[in-house]
Amino acid sequence: MKFFIDTASLTQIREAHALGVLDGVTTNPSLMAKEGISGDEQVLKHYVDICSIVDGDVSAEVISTDLNGMLAEGERLAALHPNITVKVPMTRDGVKAIKTFSGKGIKTNCTLVFSAGQALLAAKAGATYVSPFIGRLDDVSTDGIQLIEQIRTIYDNYGMTTQVLAASIRHPMHIIHCAEVGADVATCPLSAILALFDHPLTTIGLEKFLADHRKAQAAH
């Protein structure tokens, strides 16, 4: 399973990249706004900056909601760097845009997916990735992981090549469950990736090894 980081923070992207386990980045307009990135020029430069840190797909989301706007915006984003993946919302125009981008060899990520039917449409249109938002489903008492499993089954039934990119991940168990049910990618906050490192027995075990080593050295 690939690990993407879900942030527009260059500091966090650098930190995740330095761990050696980062395969890509997803952003969205809220995450860009959180970093204070606004205005066409600044937004485009920010995507180029992200692409210079990570050697993997970087999702850049369109703001337009009509087909022509999405197509123009997506073309502009895709031209920035070969790793740019145009992120398009799950709407009728969004699906049409994905179909057009797919015909032109432009990578896409269909975002704001909350049902298996939506995921089926995205795959039929030729999306590179589909992003089911598992955390937001859990927030409304619906099992997000079950949706990942359902989409996995449907795509496998028909050999659909769209990659299942589990999004809206909140904690390390989401990552583990995504891996268990066969998500292709998990896009995570840095905190969830870092939490995977932690186990009290690792900490205690390492302290004991080092203490024993120090004792042996002192006795030598």
Contact assessment for residue 31 and residue 192, using Cβ atoms and an 8 Å cutoff:
no
**CA 186, CA 144: separation in Å to the nearest integer?**
13
Segment 151-190, which members bind ligand E4P (CB under 6 A)? 167-168, 187
User: Smaller CB distance to ligand E4P: residue 136 or 152?
Assistant: 136
Q: Which two tokens stand for residue 203?
A: 């900490």
* Strand 24-26, strand 2-6: pairing: parallel
Total Cβ atoms within 10 A of residue 134: 26
Contact map string, positions 76 to 95, toward ligand E4P, x by CB under 6 A: --------------------
Q: CB of 218: closest distance to ligand E4P in angstroms?
A: 50
> Near ligand E4P by CB under 6 A, which window of 63-71, 119-127, 129-137, 144-152?
129-137
Q: CB of 133: closest distance to ligand E4P in angstroms?
A: 5
Q: Which two tokens stand for residue 137?
A: 């489903």
Going by the DSSP 8-state scheme, the letter that residue 170 receives in this structure is -
Collapsed DSSP state (helix, strand, coil) of residue 86:
strand
Residue from the set 29, 69, 135, 182 that interacts with ligand E4P by CB under 6 A: 135
Going by the DSSP 8-state scheme, the letter that residue 133 receives in this structure is B
Residue from the set 101, 114, 129, 133 that interacts with ligand E4P by CB under 6 A: 133
Segment 35-64, which members bind ligand E4P (CB under 6 A)? none
User: Smaller CB distance to ligand E4P: residue 21 or 204?
Assistant: 21
The b/e string for 144-181 (b: 16+ C-beta within 10 A; e otherwise) is bbebbbbbbebbeeeebebbbbbbbbbebebbebbeeb
Active site residues: 87
Q: CB of 111: closest distance to ligand E4P in angstroms?
A: 6
Residue from the set 3, 5, 6, 13 that interacts with ligand E4P by CB under 6 A: 6
User: Smaller CB distance to ligand E4P: residue 111 or 128?
Assistant: 111
> Near ligand E4P by CB under 6 A, which window of 9-17, 74-82, 118-126, 132-140?
132-140
Q: CB of 96: closest distance to ligand E4P in angstroms?
A: 21
Q: Helices H, strands E: what count in the chain?
A: 11, 8
Burial of 194 (0-12, 13-18, 19+ CB in 10 A): middle
Which residues here bind ligand E4P, judged by CB under 6 A? 6, 26, 28, 111, 131, 133, 135-136, 167-168, 187
